[in-house]
Every structure is written in C-alpha cells, then in structure tokens.
C-alpha cells in the first residue's frame, strides 16, 4: 500500500486537509477533517502513489499551508504541528 497517513498535533479547532489526486484519479481532493492520530485508517489514510500536494486549512481564519510530497512505493506519515512550524515526516 502507498499513500499518506495524516494527523493533527496543532490543536487547531476544525483543522482540514486537502490532498491532491494527481497520482490517483479515483481519489477525492475535497477538504476533510484531520484525525488526531493514525489509529483509524478510514479517517487518517489517503491512498496515493506518487507526488501530491497536501494543504492544511484553518476554516475559521482561512489560513492555509501546504507541501508537495512524494509517496511512491511507500506510506508517508505526516504530522501537522501548526501553521508556523514544519510538518513531521516518517516513512513506513
């Protein structure tokens, strides 16, 4: 399996995430709530197979921040720490 596991450690109320679908046309690139951990794959995993844009949004302020990441042949665990910090990445 490939793709991204995404979790929120920022304490931003209602944080949302957008994951592009350039490498997987069947996926959705809508805005979704960000899970607080990786425990439930149905809430935290996006199946993709290459380069994608991941954008986080605070719906209360409209603030956005994004990264272009590659998940080819692997799962990338993405942890969002806040709009003024870098994300944490580990490769599974």
Q: What is the pLDDT of residues 28-83, one digit of tens each?
A: 889 999 999 999 999 999 999 999 999 999 999 999 999 999 999 999 999 999 99
By C-alpha distance, which of 71, 69, 87 is closest to 79?
87
- Better-scored residue on pLDDT, 18 or 1: 18
* Per-residue model confidence (pLDDT) at position 76: 98
Q: What is the CATH number of the domain that holds 41?
A: 2.60.40
Residue range(s) defining the domain that contains residue 76: 3-91
pLDDT digits (tens, 9 = 90+) for 1-13: 899 999 999 999 9
Residue 20 and residue 27 in contact, taking contact as beta carbons nearer than 8 Å: no
Structure tokens given for 87: 């994300």
Distance CA 9, CA 28 (A): 23
Residue 24's pLDDT is 83
Total domains present in the chain: 1
Is a pLDDT exceeding 90 seen at residue 27? no
Tell me the backbone φ, ψ of residue 24, rounded to 5 degrees: -150, 90
Q: Which is more confident, 84 or 24? A: 84
């Amino acid at each position: 399996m490939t793709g991204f596991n995404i979790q929120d450690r920022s304490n931003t109320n209602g944080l949302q995430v957008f994951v592009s679908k350039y490498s997987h046309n069947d996926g959705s690139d809508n805005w979704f709530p960000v899970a607080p951990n990786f425990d439930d794959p149905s809430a935290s995993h996006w199946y993709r197979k290459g380069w994608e844009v991941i954008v986080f949004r605070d719906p209360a302020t409209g603030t956005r921040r994004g990264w272009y990441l590659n998940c080819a042949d692997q799962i990338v665990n993405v942890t969002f720490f806040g709009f003024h910090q870098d994300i944490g990445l580990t490769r599974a």
